Amino acid sequence: MNALVELSDAHVVHKARSGGLFTRDRVYALTGADLTIAPGETVGVVGESGCGKSTLAKVLVGVERPTVGTVTFRGRDLWSMPPAERRVTVGAGTGMIFQDPSTALNRRLTIRQILRDPLDVHRRGTPAEREDRVRELMSLVGLPPVLADGLPGQLSGGQRQRVAIARALALDPDLVVADEPTSALDVSVRAQILNLLLDLKERLGLALVFVSHDIQTVRRMSDRVITMYLGRIVEECPADRVTDSARHPYTRALFSATPGLLDPIDPIPLVGPVPSATRPPSGCPFRTRCWKATEECADTMPVFTAASTPGHRFRCHHPVQEDESTRDLVTQAASVPPEPHRT
């Protein structure tokens, strides 16, 4: 695959905190992530809260340095560049859109100042050209020019997110990462912002990484869906196959619990809670909740296996068969008693 950005064996480990103080524990936020994103591709990232989606997103745009592993952007290793060069590469080549535009935008600056800031920092064009670019960016995201002298607090949530999108696009990036871009917005404006992102992606040829809890939207927006579990990428699947043909039991379970995707069925029952990211299980991290788990799963983390469809791969010792329906899996999972090796 022609790569725009590539992660190779990327790990992010944090010091754990308790009551604001660091403890001796470590949080394994991202473990052994290998991922390639092509120019113009939309990759959706799904997984339960705390599984490392935001960490993956931040590593991809060079905001977070992996503790171990490499991030290659347009063929260059980001973290072996001199810092000044990395700032230019990341600042101009990537953009990030956060969940809550109210906190992501400086509320003391006007919209014009917010949009001019990256152009000034990266010294793009003459002052007059920067003013033109601000007008162009506002028009690109559907904001009337009259709002240029307003403050973020004077705008609606949807308008603020449009400003955040315009700012992310200011320097013509190749890659934009949107981390839960609509979850802080009113339901009524979510679709408008998602359509705007899709439209901009097409018009500007952007690669888009879309992180969300909203599985239906991820599937609709993306070419490829990445499933994460406890800091690991466990499956990559073309979006049009992920509901019915995902091979990792966790991906099937996640999609079975999303209302409206499949014929009405009960979700695949999973045993217990997600384990702590400070003490991930040995072997496959999903094994403690998986109805297919065996001793082998406790002993070794499976390597990626390629499925029959290009772009589809999974890490599982006992994958779901291609012809197994989610309804079959619900029955299977419900009939398996908890095993000692699961804990």
Ligand X SMILES: Nc1ncnc2c1ncn2[C@@H]1O[C@H](COP(=O)(O)OP(=O)(O)OP(=O)(O)O)[C@@H](O)[C@H]1O
Give the x-and-dash track for 11-30 against ligand X (CB under 6 A).
---x------------x-x-
Rg (CA), the chain: 21
Stretch that binds ligand X, among 42-50, 142-150, 190-198, 247-255 (CB under 6 A): 42-50
Dihedral-angle region of residue 52 (phi above 0 means left; psi in -120 to 50 means alpha; beta otherwise): left
Stretch that binds ligand X, among 45-53, 152-160, 297-305, 313-321 (CB under 6 A): 45-53
User: 173, 90 in Cβ contact below 8 A?
Assistant: no
Give the x-and-dash track for 267-306 against ligand X (CB under 6 A).
----------x-----------------------------
User: 233, 35 in Cβ contact below 8 A?
Assistant: yes
Angle between helices 157-169 and 127-140 (to 10 degrees): 130
232 binds ligand X (CB under 6 A): no
Near ligand X by CB under 6 A: residue from 2, 19, 21, 49: 49
Helices (H), 276-335: 295-299, 326-335
225 binds ligand X (CB under 6 A): no
50 binds ligand X (CB under 6 A): yes
Decide whether 101 or 319 has the Cβ nearer to ligand X.
101
Decide whether 29 or 197 has the Cβ nearer to ligand X.
29
User: 250, 286 in Cβ contact below 8 A?
Assistant: yes
Decide whether 51 or 168 has the Cβ nearer to ligand X.
51
Angle between helices 326-335 and 249-256 (to 10 degrees): 100
Residues written for the chain: 343
Stretch that binds ligand X, among 52-60, 134-142, 152-160, 233-241 (CB under 6 A): 52-60
Near ligand X by CB under 6 A: residue from 10, 35, 37, 54: 54
What six digits make up the tokens of 240? 């049009």
